[in-house]
Amino acid sequence: MTQVVEKIKALRTALHEHNHRYYILDQPTISDYEFDQLLKQLQQLEAEYPEYHDPNSPTQRVGGGVTKYFETIAHRFPMYSLSNTYSKEELELWEERIRKVLGAETEIAYSCELKFDGVSVSLTYENGELIQALTRGDGTQGDAITTNVKTIKTIPLKLKGDFPSFFEIRGEIILPWEGFNKLNEERAVKGEPLYMNPRNTASGSLKLQDSSLVAQRPLNCFLYALAGDNLPVSSQFEALEKARSWGFKVPDSAKLVHSIDAVFEFIQHWEEKRKFLPYEIDGIVIKVDRLSQQQELGFTAKAPRWAMAYKYQAEQVTTVLQGVQYQVGRTGAVTPVAQLEPVVISGTTVKRASLHNADQIEKLDLRLGDRVYVEKGGEIIPKITAVDSSHRGAEAAKVHFISHCPECGSPLEREEGEAQHYCKNELECPPQKMGKIQHFIGRKAMDIEGLGAETVSLLYQEGLLNSIADLYRLQPEQILPLDRMAEKSVTNLIEGIEKSKEQPFAKVLFGLGIRFVGETIAKKLAKQFQSITALQEASLEELLATDDVGERIAKSLVEYFSNPKNKRLILQLQEFGLQLQEVEKEQLLHPSFSGKHFVVSGVFEGYSREDLKKEIESYGGSIVSSVSSKTDFIVAGNGMGPSKRAKAEELGIPILSEKDYNSFKG
């Protein structure tokens, strides 16, 4: 028993340490694979011994916890905002004011830091463990986002070194450009509206209910302030260094300087360099370094008197708005794009800028021919931030968002609470039709090798591909004459399509792209109804009786199957021989397993626990989680739970070791 506890402890310590080396120090000492193996071991042990649960175990990083409602909690120490300025003269005035309080001849050191543009967060640590994460909120109270924050790898769940037993630390959660641009590229491919900027995206991510989704966002957290009573430091810069030694991510861009001129140098230095940072900053924060001096200076109602933010002007140019085009994505979302008179910003020529949605156009009160301000941060697509209306002619035409789809002409709709307009003509609208085909061939659906997005759009343009059924009508001699099509690629394509007929029913069902029917739901529906025919005939009530199927999904299914075009499509797919029902697995049934109940416990050498369970199920056995009189066999690996063993012995249930199991299945 104690052995297991020791093992779990050792794994946790090792994983915390490796996490720190990888994410904070950037000096990993083991491979990603080895890390994953250790994590898996720990996950298995934790599943086996839930009594040793630890809310700060490294396994919490992958998320899974769901926050239905973010509780509002008061800050122990208020979270102030910062006074800010865009001018050096004002900074000099600030220094004068400080000197009036501290004395003209006093030595004042300044901690100069980057002003990270993200979401501020306050983390509470007790005995070196993260116990709470709050947003700034209104400064006196914020929302508890602890579960989501634990998925951010640069935030330590356990501290090292000589940390105080109880303290708070503040920092900024940011989304670096790379992650932001990647998310937007993915959204563009799916035809979903783009995110405006990394800050909003980070903030939205932290308010997702499902923490496993947060875990997938490459969020980062930089720490910049300690809060607490009796902190073991006497200056801000020391606080940064201490925090770093306890395992926090504190960028080494911070600099301690001893004059206001040196502050200006720091500002100058980053004015250019910030453009090459992998994340966005919107300025510099200057803080009086000594805590005793900070105390003397105190706070205004909103901000400390001992700190000042110097903000950089964003790089902006002006140009002329020539027109607005509208793009229809694969989901039918319509995005307005400004056509600009070409202009150079940060060394690249810009001709287009995103306008996001109708509200944005309305807010800017855009007219054709307007002189507009265009800004480019690190994001790929520049944006229009303002209009110079002094240049506007009297009869300039106001930009009105379109009412009909530019691709298919059907009226656009905008749902309550949504910013985006949609074209709902999903079966006829060209980009949406193509989107459906692309979804169908995707890796998680039919996974058709040799066929990619570009080929689909080529075949579509050639009139060879109008629906997913057309895939199965393609003939080599039709494709061969097309651009960039060699004999080999055509053979691969046709073979890939042919092979897709073997994909199981659940994948076909997911591939149909029925609204709200994701991968998991498709699997559950396939299992429950066994065939597309049964599914088509199911009533709303019958659909609702399926695991995880709610009103929204059930209605969407009924609507889908009541459309004659969809019915025809399914008939065609049936004729082509796609799997539209679950295949019998009878040939696999194993006489020693069939109808028997198994408990699987412990860690195995030749199997992961999941694989072992799958194998038992594939032989016709069923898996149960706890030992009872109905259990037929226990398959026990290393470190089987002692209570399980005792119970099994008491009930006289045979316990199979891994070796026994292997000979049992023969």
Residues in contact with ligand AMP by CB under 6 A are 81-82, 84, 113, 115-116, 120, 136, 172, 224, 285, 309
Nearer to ligand AMP (CB atom), residue 116 or residue 510: 116
Question: Amino acid letter at 318?
Answer: T
N-term to C-term CA, the chain: 32
Contacts to Zn ion from residues 484-523, by CB under 5 A: none
Binder of residue 408, out of ligand AMP, Zn ion, none (CB less than 5 to 8 A by kind): Zn ion
| Measured distance CA(382)–CA(342) in Å, rounded | 12
**Smaller CB separation from Zn ion, 273 or 404:** 404
**Residue whose entry in the numeric block shows the structure tokens 């109880």:** 166
For residue 565, the minimal CB distance to ligand AMP (Å) is 52
- CA–CA separation, 471 and 441 (whole Å): 10
What span, in angstroms and rounded, lies between the C-alpha atoms of 542 and 528?
Answer: 10
- Binding test (CB under 5 A) with Zn ion, winner from 48, 117, 143, 407: 407
What one-character DSSP code corresponds to residue 466? Answer: S
334 forms part of the interface with Zn ion (CB under 5 A): no
Residue 224 interacts, among ligand AMP, Zn ion, none and using kind-specific CB cut-offs from 5 to 8 Å, with ligand AMP
CB of 300 to ligand AMP, least distance (A): 12
Q: Print burial letters for 549-568: b (CB count within 10 Å at least 16), e (below 16).
A: beeebbebbeebbeeeebee
Q: Which residue is nearest to ligand AMP (CB)?
A: 120
d(CA 309, CA 658): 63
- Residue 46 contact, options ligand AMP, Zn ion, none, Cβ 5-8 Å cut-off depending on partner type: none
426 contacts Zn ion (rule: CB under 5 A): no
Structure tokens at 32: 């990603």
The values of phi and psi at residue 636, to 5°, are -115, 125
Rg of the chain over CA atoms, in angstroms?
30
Sequence-separated (6 or more) residues with CB below 8 Å from residue 473: none
Q: Residue 405 Cβ, how far from Zn ion at the closest point, in Å?
A: 3
> Which C-beta is closer to Zn ion: that of 175 or that of 423?
423
Closest distance between Zn ion and the C-beta of residue 330, in Å? Answer: 11
Please list the active-site residues.
Answer: 115
Of 102, 239, 364, 423, the residue at the interface with Zn ion (CB under 5 A) is 423
**Which of 196, 623 has the CB closer to ligand AMP?**
196
- What's 446's DSSP letter? T
Q: Please, which residues have CB within 8 angstroms of residue 208's CB and are 6 or more apart in sequence? A: 148, 214
Give CA angle at 397 (396, 403), nearest 5°. 165
Stretch that binds Zn ion, among 80-88, 283-291, 398-406, 581-589 (CB under 5 A): 398-406
Q: Using the minimum distance from each CB to Zn ion, give the nearer residue, 24 or 188.
A: 188
- Name 616's Cβ contacts closer than 8 Å, sequence gap at least 6: 593, 598, 600, 622, 623, 635
Distance CA 226, CA 233 (A): 9
Residue 429 near which of Zn ion, ligand AMP, none (CB within 5-8 Å, type-dependent): Zn ion
Q: Does 408 bind Zn ion (CB under 5 A)?
A: yes
CB of 440 vs Zn ion, minimal distance in Å: 19
Q: Which of 501, 479, 498 is nearest to 489 (CA)?
A: 479
Span 542-601, contacts to Zn ion by CB under 5 A: none
Quote the CA–CA distance of 58 and 22 in Å, as a whole number.
13
Cβ 184 to ligand AMP shortest distance, Å: 23
The H-assigned helical ranges of 395-479 are 430-441, 453-461, 468-471, 476-479
Minimum CB distance to ligand AMP smaller for 115 or for 330: 115
Q: In angstroms, rounded to a whole number, what is the distance separating the alpha carbons of residues 121 and 136? A: 6
Of ligand AMP, Zn ion, none, which one does residue 168 interact with (CB within 5 to 8 Å by kind)?
A: none
Distances (CA, A) of 122 to 143, 153, 397: 10, 16, 48
Among residues 120 and 220, whose Cβ is nearest to ligand AMP? 120
The site partner of 61 among Zn ion, ligand AMP, none (C-beta below 5 to 8 Å per kind) is none
Sheet holding 84-85, edge to edge: 84-85, 307-311, 281-288, 110-116, 255-257
CB of 425 to Zn ion, least distance (A): 5
In the list ligand AMP, Zn ion, none, the entry touching 407 (Cβ below 5 to 8 angstroms by class) is Zn ion
State which residue, 46 or 113, has the beta carbon closest to ligand AMP: 113
Residue 465 Cβ, how far from Zn ion at the closest point, in Å? 18
The site partner of 309 among Zn ion, ligand AMP, none (C-beta below 5 to 8 Å per kind) is ligand AMP
Token pair for residue 117?
């543009």
Residue pair 263/110 in contact (Cβ under 8 Å)? The answer is yes
Q: Which of residues 224 and 248 has its CB atom nearest to ligand AMP in the complex?
A: 224
The nearest distance, CB 324 to Zn ion, in angstroms, is 17
State the minimum distance, in angstroms, from the CB of residue 214 to ligand AMP.
Answer: 19
Q: Which is nearer to ligand AMP, 1 or 301 (CB)?
A: 301
The answer to whether 12 and 54 have CB atoms below 8 angstroms apart is yes
Q: Considering only 5-13, 392-400, 404-412, 528-536, which stretch makes contact with Zn ion by CB under 5 A?
A: 404-412
Residue 116 interacts with, from ligand AMP, Zn ion, none (CB under 5-8 Å by kind) = ligand AMP
Stretch that binds Zn ion, among 96-104, 365-373, 420-428, 584-592 (CB under 5 A): 420-428
Give every strand in the sheet of 119-126, ordered side by side. Answer: 129-135, 119-126, 166-174, 220-227
- Neighbouring CB atoms inside 10 A of 298's CB total 10
Question: Which region among 89-97, 235-243, 424-432, 607-615 touches Zn ion (by CB under 5 A)?
Answer: 424-432
Using CB under 5 A, pick the residue from 429, 456, 490, 600 that binds Zn ion. Answer: 429
**Residue among 598, 606, 590 at smallest CA distance from 624:** 598
Query: Which of Zn ion, ligand AMP, none does residue 120 bind (CB under 5 to 8 Å by kind)?
Result: ligand AMP
Residues near Zn ion (CB under 5 A) are 405, 407-408, 423, 425, 429
